[in-house]
Each structure stands twice: as structure tokens, then as C-alpha cells.
Amino acid sequence: MSTLSIGISGLNAASIGLATTSHNIANSSTPGYNRQVIVNGTNFSVLSGSGYIGQGAHVETVKRIYSEFLSEQVMSAQTSAAEMDSYLQQISQIDNILADASIGLSSAMSGFFDGVQAVAADPSSIPARQSMLSTAQTLISRFQLLDQRMAEIREGVNSQITSEVSVISSYSSQIAQLNERILFAQAGSQTQQPNDLLDQRDQLIAELNEHVRVSTLTQSDGTVNLFFGNGQPLVVGTDAYSLGTAAAADDPERTVVVVNTPGGTAIQVQESQIAGGTLGGLISFRSESLDAAQNALGRVAIGLTQTFNNQHQLGQDLTGALGGDFFSVDDPTSYASSLNTGSGVLAATFSSTAAANLTTSDYQLSFAGGVYTLKRLSDNQTWTGASAAAVATAADQGFDLTLTGTPLDGDSFKIEPTRSGAGTIAVVVNDTRNIAAAAPMRTAAALANTGTGSIGAGSVNSPAPPDANLQQTVTITFTDATHFNVVGTGTGNPTGVAYTAGASISYNGWTTEISGAPRAGDVFTISVNTNGVSDNRNAVALAALQTADTMIGGTASHLEAYAQLVSEVGNKTREVKTIGASQTALAESAIASQQALSGVNLDEEAANLMRYQQAYQASAKVIEIASKVFDSILALG
């Protein structure tokens, strides 16, 4: 090769270096761009009598500076940061609602029990009774307002999930198209990579990764396969899988992600398989916090309804009638899976232990091989039984189940015991006279008694509904100073009962006590309370429910159960905020490391421009000298 050719090779190499450097500078602000460098190679030397003589240089390739390890670190941190940011945006809404005293439950519940105590202080007062009904309506309004706000958040999450799936599908389609372009480009040159196309694809993958965590698998032909969850494909070669949303098979109010198969079947993706990114944050928030918060709020409403109603039914109102329900609330919600093939229909009702035993979890009842399995979805605890009713009784979770029709193997049902509680609670009593403040029975000592014995006012001891004979007249007659007989409907008429002063005497669902020293022939009567206008015994019992530990296994009052909800949401909000800040810092650190390697440094590129310019000028000088030498040779002729 002549000196001229060597000069031209150097000129070409320097020219490509200048072009590559200029390309770096032009793309210094382009998202996802990895700086490029030229890799020079030496041309084969030629053997001569003087040895091997060099023949110049050539550019072997234009290489992009890229680290798969650093890229994976950035993607991992970014998808986690995006997930926490999405989660925080959602849970902050619940935290703000519960922390707002103007719409919170604490003051309204305290106000309601203040109204109950006012009736206990003056049971005949119509204004006090009206105030109790008014504060009850205020409490119900708070329950329903909080539930409505949570329902709005749920609708917003459903809408955002649909939007996120649409964005993910769009990214998948673009990446599949870039796979096709890269495949075509590499087919035309087996040894050279289309750097800019690779950067574009990596940038799209990074952006997609902020919506849902994805994993990549690079193929030998240059294409990249994308997967999310537990290996669910998004992109395979040049094909993008179609994602969509639909109502969950076992819950029509829950939007879920589905994969649309070529045959037109939509396969639901399990929520546990979706993690990372905005979509992962939305789904985690809904399953971990929103469901639990709305269920916990509903549990308070249901617990209040059951305990207050039970006590109210044991009282007597101003008309002389036994108390009825004060509040009402809908039965647990249950859904049959749309995939069921049998005719089974499931109904759920609250058991007598609902207030104490209800949890904040949803449940799944499945049928296979003649066995019913009830699963608590919050922790996957299971119970089995030969019938739906039997398995619910064995689980003792605060609800009973009744299944009609014939289920087939594989059929399942979802039970949401407390989800609708806060939204459906209502006040049943609308007449002040129907507040059962009095006890339904009264006691009296006969005027002709000669002893010093006295009888207590008595109280109802039976659980709701009250004993059928509660208001039947019962007489206690002393046969001597230490024994008495009991006569009355439903008592069994026991005789010769030993007397102990102050000991409880219980029949027909009531309890009283006699103290002092009765004499033979003394008579005490327990009968219907015919003049209970000023009787406050049941109102006092109702007021005592404010601090009674009737919920969460008998460990918390209604207000304490609500306070636990507020605390759990607040703690979770702080936890997510802390983790999010940590992940954001990790992402920033990973990006800094990546940019230190792959980013464009304008100072460095300016130095490269000068270096390649000098090389270009030197090569041009070589060509100039070669030309002069050639001219000199021609002149010799």
C-alpha cells in the first residue's frame, strides 16, 4: 500500500472519529443514549526486504459504552421507587381522610355515646331521646362518608390500572417493533450492532419498567424477550402479547389484569405475580391497604350494630314493648366465580360471635372432591368441612354460610364479610318512644312481708333475643328463713331452694338478688315493667358499651378498633414513604454510576474533537506529501 493509501486510511479513521464524537455531543441530552467510541484496527502489514511495513489503519467498529450490570441496577431501583411512589400517592389519601377530625369517626362515636348517656341520665326526656337519635344519624353519616371516600379511591385505582395496562401494552408493541428493526439491521451486518436502535429499545424497556417490573432475555439474533410477574411474557421476538383488564372472576367490582390469548380467551394474571412500577404499587396498595382499611371500617360498623342491637333488644321502650334493632347493616357480600360450572348459590350471614371474631380479611370457599375449603385470604389459613355451613362453624370467623344448589369440582366463591358494613349501616329507630332505655321486668316485695329481706332491681342476663318468658310473673315465697319456693311460667317451679343473702337468683333470662333476713311467708315478685318511663337500667347498659371490649377477640372497644385502623394506616404510610425515599436514593446512585460509564462528558468529547482533528490534519499532510512525492517522480520522467 502506498503512502497515499496509508494517509487516506488515517483520514477515514479520523473522519469517523470526528463523526462519532459529534454524534455523542449532539445526543448528550438524549434520554437513554450511551456514548459511542470507535475501535481502530491496524491494517495487515506487508513483508519486504526491509521487514514488515505497516499499511495504515481502519475502524473495526463503533462501540457503545454499555454495562448490563449497571443497567439492571438502575432498572431494579427505578421500578421499586416507582412502586413506592404509586403506593404512597394512594395510601396518603386514606391517611389524610382518617386524620381529618371533621370527617373522622372518633368524635362522632363519642358524641353518640354522649347522647346515650343523656338518655340514661333522664330516660323520660323526649329532647334527650331526640338528641340520641340525632347523634346516631351523625355517626351513620360519618361511617357512610368514609366508606364513600374509600369507594371513590377504589374506583380511581381500577381506572388507573386500566390506564397503566394500556400504557404497558403500548410500550410492548413499540419494543416488539424495535426488535424487528434490530433483527433486520443485524441480518445485514452480522458483526456490527445498530447502536442507536439498541439505545432506543433499552430506553423503552427502562420506561416500561417504571410501570411494571420486567425481566429481559437477549436472544442470539439480537432481539430481547420481556417477561413480567412469574414469567408471563410481554414481548417474544417481534411479537407483543396483548394485555387488557376485566372484572375479576370472583369480584365484579375489582379490575384485574388479563392476558388475551390468540384464541380470544382472557386469562387473569394473579395479583401476587404483578410487582414493581406504578402498576405494582396500585395493586399492592389495593390488596394490602385499601381492602384492609375498608374492611376494618366495616368491621367497626358491624360490631357496633351487633352489640348495640343485642343490648337494645333486652330493654323496654316507652310504649312497654321490648326493644328491637336500633341499627341495621347488610349481610356479608358473597360472589360466585364466573368460572363456576355448578349451580351452587352461597349466602352469608353474621353469626352471634361477629363482633368479637370478624377479621379484616376476605375469604374464599372452594369445593373439590366433596370437601369444602374455606381460606382466609390475608394469611392463607384454611379450614375444611363436609358442607359450607360446617366449615364456617369450624372456622368461627364471625359469619355463617348456607349453600344451595349443587356445586361442582373446582367451583369457588368469594366472601367479603365486612366490606359493605360502613356503607350500609343505618338507624332503624326513628321514633323517640322506641328507644329501649328501661329494663323489661321489675321486682317488688309484698307489703305484708314481716322480715327485713329486700330484693334488687334485677337485670336481664340472657343474650338477645330475650327469653320468651322474660316478662312472665314469677313469685318467690319463703317457707322459712332459709328456704324458698319459685312459682311461675317457664321457671320449672323449684321448691326448697336454699337461701343465701345477696346470692344471685336467675330464672327466665333475668337475674336478681335478695338480701337481709326474710321470714316464712314473705313474698317477692318479678313481673313485667308496667311503669318503666323513668327506668334507665337498659340505657346504662347501652352506655357501658362505649368502653366495653367487645371487638377483636374481646380485646378492644369500638373506638379502639377504629383507632387501630387509623394507627395501622398511619404506620404503613410512614413505612412506604421511608422505603420510597430509600429506593429513590438508590436509583439516583445507580444512575450516577451508569452515567459515569455510559454518559456523555462534554469536556472529554471536546478533547476527542481536538485529537481527531489533529489526526485528520496529520493524515491530510501525509496525503499532501505523498502527492508531492508522486509529482516529483513524474517530473523525473
More confidently predicted of 632 and 519: 519
CA dihedral 307, 308, 309, 310 (to 10 degrees): 50
Residue 373 pairs with which residues in a beta bridge? 366, 384
Residue 501 has pLDDT above 70, yes or no: yes
Q: Residue 405, by phi and psi: left (phi above 0), alpha (psi -120 to 50) or beta?
A: left
At 63, list the grid cell.
462501540
Q: Quick one: pLDDT at residue 318?
A: 94
- Top mean-pLDDT range of 4-8, 45-49, 275-279: 275-279
Q: Quick one: pLDDT at residue 633?
A: 75
If pLDDT is split at 50, 70 and 90, which confidence band does 274 have? very high
Q: Quick one: pLDDT at residue 631?
A: 67
If pLDDT is split at 50, 70 and 90, which confidence band does 188 have? confident
* CA dist., res. 556 & res. 563, Å (int): 10
- Give the dihedral sign, CA 261/262/265/266: positive
**Mean pLDDT within 140-153:** 97
* CA dist., res. 381 & res. 45, Å (int): 77
Please write the tens of the pLDDT for every residue from 349-402: 999 999 999 999 999 999 999 999 999 999 999 999 999 999 999 999 999 999
If pLDDT is split at 50, 70 and 90, which confidence band does 25 have? very high
How is residue 30 annotated by DSSP?
A: S
**Nearest C-alpha neighbor of 95 from the set 279, 289, 299:** 289
Q: Scan for cell 439498541, then name that residue.
A: 198
3-state secondary structure 423-485: HHCEECCCCHHHCCCECCEEEEECCCCCCCCEECCCEECCCCCCCCCCCCCEEEEEEECCEEE
Residue 51 has pLDDT above 90, yes or no: no
Instruction: Tell me the three state secondary structure of residue 66.
Output: coil
* CA dist., res. 353 & res. 10, Å (int): 90
Residue 587 has pLDDT above 80, yes or no: yes
Share of the chain above pLDDT 90, in %: 77
Which residues, including other chains, have CB under 8 Å from residue 488's CB and lie 6 or more apart? 469, 472, 473, 474, 475, 507, 508, 526
* CA dist., res. 500 & res. 456, Å (int): 14
Q: Scan for cell 394512594, then name that residue.
A: 90
Q: How many CB atoms lie within 10 A of CB 530?
A: 9
* CA dist., res. 109 & res. 136, Å (int): 8
Residue 88 has pLDDT above 60, yes or no: yes
3-state helix, strand, coil in the chain (%, to 5): 45, 25, 30
Residue 421 has pLDDT above 60, yes or no: yes
Q: Quick one: pLDDT at residue 13?
A: 87
Residue 1 has pLDDT above 60, yes or no: no
**Mean pLDDT within 417-437:** 97
pTM: 0.88
* CA dist., res. 87 & res. 403, Å (int): 38
Please write the tens of the pLDDT for every residue from 438-484: 999 999 999 999 999 999 998 888 787 888 898 899 999 999 999 99
Please write the tens of the pLDDT for every residue from 393-416: 999 999 999 999 999 999 999 999
User: Sheet of 242-248: strands edge to edge?
Assistant: 242-248, 251-260, 266-268
- How many residues are listed for the chain in this entry? 637
Please write the tens of the pLDDT for every residue from 541-576: 999 999 999 999 999 999 999 999 999 999 999 999
At 228, list the grid cell.
413480567
* CA dist., res. 472 & res. 46, Å (int): 125
Q: Quick one: pLDDT at residue 630?
A: 67
Share of the chain above pLDDT 70, in %: 99
Q: Quick one: pLDDT at residue 518?
A: 96
CA dihedral 170, 173, 179, 185 (to 10 degrees): -90
Q: Quick one: pLDDT at residue 478?
A: 96
Domain parsing of the chain, residue ranges: 3-65+599-636, 85-293, 331-411, 441-528
Mean of the per-residue pLDDT values of the chain: 92
- Let me know: does 613 contact 11? Beta carbons within 8 Å: no
Residue 166's Cβ-side half-sphere holds a number of Cα atoms within 13 Å equal to 6
Residue 268 pairs with which residues in a beta bridge? 258
Beta strand 251-260 with 266-268 is antiparallel
Which residues, including other chains, have CB under 8 Å from residue 560's CB and lie 6 or more apart? 549, 551
* CA dist., res. 144 & res. 333, Å (int): 17
Q: Quick one: pLDDT at residue 97?
A: 93
